Amino acid sequence: MQNLSVLDIMRTSAVIPVIAIDDLAHAVPLARALVAGGIRVLEVTLRTAHGLPAIRAIAEQVPDAIVGVGTLTQPQEFAAARDAGAVFGVSPGLTPALIAAAKSSGLPLLPGVMTPSEVMAAREAGFRQLKLFPAVPAGGIGMLNALAGPLGDMMFCPTGGVSQENAAQFLACRNVACVGGSWLTPKDALAAGDWGRITALARAASALRQPA
C-alpha cells in the first residue's frame, strides 16, 4: 500500500470521504463502517485535534483502509502525518513550502487549486493530479469542462459543494477521477454511533460509476 501513487488512490474509489474526527473513539468504527460499504480511501483532516491520533488508530486497526491526511497547510505536518500512518496527503492549496515538504517527506500529495493559473503552477511543480477546491465556488462542472481543453493532461478530485445529489454529474467529467465530500459521515450519525447508516451511505457512494 505504501507504493500507491496519487492516481492509483484516486481510482480506487469514486468518492473520498472528508472526515473530521471530534471524538477519537469514533475513528476506528467509522473507518470500518466505510470500508464495509466499499469505501477504502479515507481522508482524515487535521481540522480537529484528533486528526493525527485518528490516522494512527485507523492505520493500525483497519488494514483494508487507505488512510490519508487532509487539510495539510504547514510543512511540518507532512512528516507527522506520514509517521502516524498516512499514505497520502491532501491540501487546500499549494505553496513552495508545501511542495518542498511533500518531496522531503515522501508523502504523495493531492494539492488544492482553484484557478487555471494555479493548475499550471502545480503542473510546473510536477503534479498531474489535483483537488479542485472549493469546487462549486470555483465554477464546478463548468470550470472542469473548461480546464479539460487547454489542460487536458490534468486529473481532478473536486471537493467543496460536492454532494450525494451532484456527485454523479461531477464524475461524468472526463478529467475527474474521483470526488471528495463529507456527506458520507454526517455528524448526527457519528454522534449516535449509527455505523449502519454510514455503511449504507458508503455503499451508495461506491456504486457510483464513471462512464467508460
Give the orientation angle of helix 76-84 with respect to helix 51-61, to 10 degrees. Answer: 30
Question: Which of 60, 103, 124, 131 does the annotation list as catalytic?
Answer: 131
Q: Judge whether 131 counts as a catalytic residue.
A: yes
What cell does 57 get?
488508530
Closest listed residue to residue 181, CA positions, set 197, 203, 202? 202
Q: With left for phi above 0 and alpha for psi between -120 and 50, is residue 160 left, alpha or beta?
A: left
Q: Which residues, in sequence order, are bridge partners of residue 113?
A: 132
> Is 103 designated active site?
no
- Decide: 37 and 205 in contact? Cβ < 8 Å: yes
Identify the CA nearest to 128 among candidates 2, 8, 33. Answer: 8
CB 205 within 8 A of CB 167: yes
Q: Cell numbers at residue 150, please?
A: 487547454
Backbone angles phi, psi at 146, to 5 degrees: -70, -40
Contact 116, 89 (CB under 8 A): no
Q: What is the C-alpha separation between 127 and 155, in angstroms, rounded?
A: 10
Enzyme catalytic residues = 43, 131
